[in-house]
Structures are given as structure tokens and as C-alpha cells.
Amino acid sequence: MHSCRPETLKIDISKCRGVEENSILRWFDELDDAIRARRIDYGDMQVSFDQSNLAGRAKTWALGLKLHDPYAFESLEVFKSRSRQTFEPPRAEFRARTELLKLKQGERDVHAYA
């Protein structure tokens, strides 16, 4: 007998350690891909999944916040926002956007595909 629930795919992602060498924006992309592949539909489960992929300084930071306020990460958006404020190097989004705009395929730049 087959289940009506679609198959899920387990995607391994890197741990966020809260150090500048690791891009928090890239880590968020990995998380979003894994959440979709695993079909994690509920916000609180998404936050728990994200927190389970923290390590080192980042894990200590998240546990400390939750110790003071169990609702510190009430949604995935709040978790991401607080994580970015804490671990994203200054001007990282600007640098990422600049790198994206430099991309080309043949004669066409990124604007041709937007």
C-alpha cells in the first residue's frame, strides 16, 4: 500500500558556527533547500530544524537567547533576522548583490534573466 504523502529528500547541510568565514546568507539558502526537500511545513519545526544545524558560537548564542526568552525565535523570519544581525559581517548583503550583478553568461548579464 502506497502512502499519499510525497517522498522527502534528506539533504545534508553545513553547520553554522557564527564565524565570518561562513556566509550566513549561503547557510540560509542551504536551510531553505533542506526545509523544502524534507517538507518541513510548520514554522516552529522550521526554527527547530535551523537551530539543530547550529554549532559553536552560534549555538551558544541561540541557547542563551532561548534561556532568557523561550519565544525569542517565534518564527523562521525572526530567527533569520536575529541571526543576520548577530553573525552577518557589515555590508555582506551589498557584497553579495555586487557579486550577483557581475555574473554573466555569454554576452548576457543577470539583468537579461530577471
The C-alpha cell 550577483 sits at 100
Given pLDDT bands bounded at 50, 70 and 90, which one contains residue 61?
very high
Q: What is the pTM of this model?
A: 0.69
CA 107 to chain centre: 32
Given pLDDT bands bounded at 50, 70 and 90, which one contains residue 9?
confident
Q: Residue 35's closest CA among 18, 57, 11?
A: 11
Domain ranges of the chain: 24-89
